[in-house]
A and B are shown apart, each in its own frame.
Chain A
Amino acid sequence: MGERLLTGPAQLAVFASDGLTAFSERPLAVALPESTEEVAAIVRACHRAGVPFVPRGSGTSLSGGSVPVPGGVVIACNRLNRVLRVDPLTRTAVVQPGVINLAVSAAAAAHGLQYAPDPSSQSVCTIGGNVAFNSGGAHCLKHGMTSNHVLAIRAILPDGELVELGSAQGSAGPDWVGMFCGSEGLFGIAVEITLRLVPVPEAVCTALAGYDSLQAAGEAVARILREGLLPVAVEIMDAVAIEAAEASVKPGYPECAALLIVELEGEREAVQADRLVLESLLARSGASDVRITEDPAERALIWKGRKGAFSSVGWLAPDYIVQDGVVPRTKLGYALAEIDRMSAQAGIRIANVFHAGDGNLHPLILYDGAQAGATDRAHQLAGEILRLCIALGGSITGEHGVGLEKRDFLPLMFSEDDIAFMRRIRHAVDPDELSNRGKMLAMS
């Protein structure tokens, strides 16, 4: 592999962490395969030598999922970056794992099609990473997560064997594709992925509504759902997140304590009809400022502010943790009030920006790692928020995965038997725990 096998300390340093900088580990080497055969050969070599390996896309994981393992190799899929086929007749695309999320929509655009899942990191993250984490995004409320858009996967299992799961036509038998999605790199490396494409909507309408409290915005979400509306996105940003966005992207959001973003999409007639319902609902929801736009440039700016929120928060604090927890959506208001209370009690600032429509919270815990004990206190608060999510009947992760970060929280959701069951499945596929060892499940 020559220059595509990196071993120099400076080269390796680049791969030491992922989007969650709290974890870091120097890999033994980093391989940059350019074909399925090369991936298979590297994995077989690792298997023979008993060397663990970590599949990696763009390294934007926020849970430590793509952090190297001690004494292990990183298999970076970035050069496997070709869109192999776009078929407008079957509305499918076949891509290599290193293809950037947005590049799929770009390749499909000529046919009036797009790839729906849109993690905020979509301009940099890869389809391989999306598949491994079953990533979501703002528009997943209506469209569903990554796995709802994956029809087939060719994968190299941890012993180097190639398997084909599903087909472009779907499957009639157990959903092996669904099982592979979200497996966090524990089942080997996806080398070819068949994705479902959806038509680019004819009309889109985006509403902004400002509220004087997060609770009020949360209640508006509940009303929207009760009304039978099915928006494509329902997002909330709090004052701190808005402040950060205005300091960087300058989307010109209404001044408020909590901003609700609601987007409708579909055919002209359907969007117009739903817009009327939404407008009257928002007018009665206690919002201080309601703006509705169908202008693509305005919409783009609104989303630039929202999708850039994580990085914008960098303007407010030297360090932050992006937490990812889920609560039942009817308990949003309560959960937000509790988080506010916890933040005040701990004296740690929290910015909230989240997928309100599906109860997926992203509290951004701001701290300064240079201060003694600050990192530990921030992580402690992050943990308390997860406990709150579970106490309310939710989940420890909606879309960022368990990775390294949440391994110890898995028992909050699952019994010993449940975890042992997952472990038996893991061991059946990868007895030596070579593929992404220690992620999701602690090494046994």
Chain B
Amino acid sequence: MSTVAALTQADVQAVVATCAPGQHLLPVAGGTKPGLSSSSRDDVTRVDVSALRGILAYDPAELTLTARAGTPIAELQAALSEHGQYLPFDPPFAAAGATLGGVTAAGASGPGAWRYGGVRDFVLGVRLVDGAGRLIYAGGKVVKNAAGFDVPKLMVGSIGRLGIMLELSLKVFPRAPETVTLTCELGDTEAAAEAALALMRSPIHLDALDIAAGGRLLARVAGRSGEVEARAERLAGVLPGPPVRLRGDDERELWRQVWSSVTETDADTLVRATSSLPGAAGLVAALAATAEASVHYTLGATAAWIRWPRAAPIDRLDALLAQRGLAGMVLIGSPERPLIGHQGGGVFAERIARAIDPDSRFLEL
């Protein structure tokens, strides 16, 4: 594997256009998810687009933003927070240097996405380079647009295999001024899932709902000062035991700690998988029976972040997920097969991938 750095849009186009037969390209920017952005094959060249960065347009009154794909998420967050706004999909790996393009390509959203949706629900437009090196624009820059195929959405989860993104437009939201987090140790995933279900049945909209390994429940509410505490109180009443309430710095520190223990690993393979609340305890049990794995559930347990020992064969995790109809993406670990488990799409996927990249210049999905 070698790496070329693209300094301009034209560089990216040229690299793709001149890619030799049998050779493949893989875009990389922040490199925070090496399972997606590295390769051990010598027919693969990485295209480093991290120099293509910067915010191109941000009008707080418009609640939309356009930035180059290599822009660090942290830079976007800083610009937004000056105006009380944020990226509601709450990208993980932001502190480690994740970029807008990388987060979109991984389709990875953080715990805060529970309230308003993930990356797919906020991406509006994309400029990309296709498999022939052409510059393509799709979507739009306004919050609503139904013209043409929704290629911006297709880029979400495309892991650099369906074009190299150069620029993305997003909608953003105002950030609620206050948050409160309740946590509860419930002993195991089953008990925590049951409590999570009770929370979901209550009329309280949660800002985040996670179940950490070992059955620790974390529920966050967001809103205005005064009313947010009242809602947290009502939530507490639904929980089986008295929760710990956290706010301000303590609250931020808790979430930072919990999520760095999920995403920071050198020793394990890190897989983001689809999951469901009713199946949460079953998946944990099945994983535990196979390897020393641990699972952090987020987004109301519709996403599982699985730490899988490097020594254990990934094929077993693959089979286990496939059996349950779940899909997984290897974010950290061996890059040979990033998509595991039950992957839909079938010939629809194959045909569209071929249309975008007829000469297989990008890595296969």
Contact = CB atoms under 8 A, between A and B. Distances in A.
A in complex with B: yes
Interface residues of B, number: 87
Contacts of B137: 414-415, 418
B77 interface: no
B150 A134 contact: yes
Interface residues of A, number: 90
A267 B61 contact: no
A156 B117 CA distance: 28
Contacts of B107: 171-173, 175
Nearest to A277: B224
B327 A172 contact: yes
Nearest to A272: B227
Interface stretch (B23-31, B46-54, B155-163): B155-163
A175 B161 CA distance: 12
Contacts of A171: 107, 157, 274, 327, 344
Given A359-B144, A394-B145, 9 more contacts: A136-B144, A165-B348, A172-B341, A173-B157, A199-B205, A269-B230, A270-B224, A397-B146, A421-B134
Nearest to B223: A270
Interface of B: 59-64, 84, 107, 116-117, 120-121, 130, 134-138, 140-151, 153-159, 161-162, 173-175, 177, 197, 200-201, 203-205, 223-224, 226-228, 230-231, 234, 272-278, 302-303, 325-329, 339, 341-349, 351-352, 354-356, 365
A172 B274 contact: yes
Interface string A233-247: 000000000000000
Max chain B C-beta neighbours (<10 A), residue from A90, A142, A187: A90
Contacts of A175: 107, 120, 153-158
Nearest to A394: B142
A401 B149 CA distance: 10
A228 B174 contact: yes
25 contacts: A144-B117, A163-B346, A167-B274, A173-B345, A173-B365, A174-B161, A175-B153, A175-B158, A178-B156, A179-B352, A199-B205, A202-B203, A230-B173, A270-B205, A272-B227, A328-B64, A328-B141, A329-B142, A358-B142, A393-B142, A394-B145, A395-B142, A421-B356, A428-B355, A429-B351
Closest 10 CB pairs of A and B: A178-B153, A428-B355, A228-B174, A169-B274, A269-B227, A202-B203, A395-B145, A398-B144, A163-B346, A172-B327
Contact of B204 (A267, A399, A421): A267
Contacts of B204: 267
Given A168-B276, A171-B327, A398-B145, A228 B84 contact: yes
Given A273-B223, A425-B352, A425-B356, A174 B147 contact: no
A38 interface: no
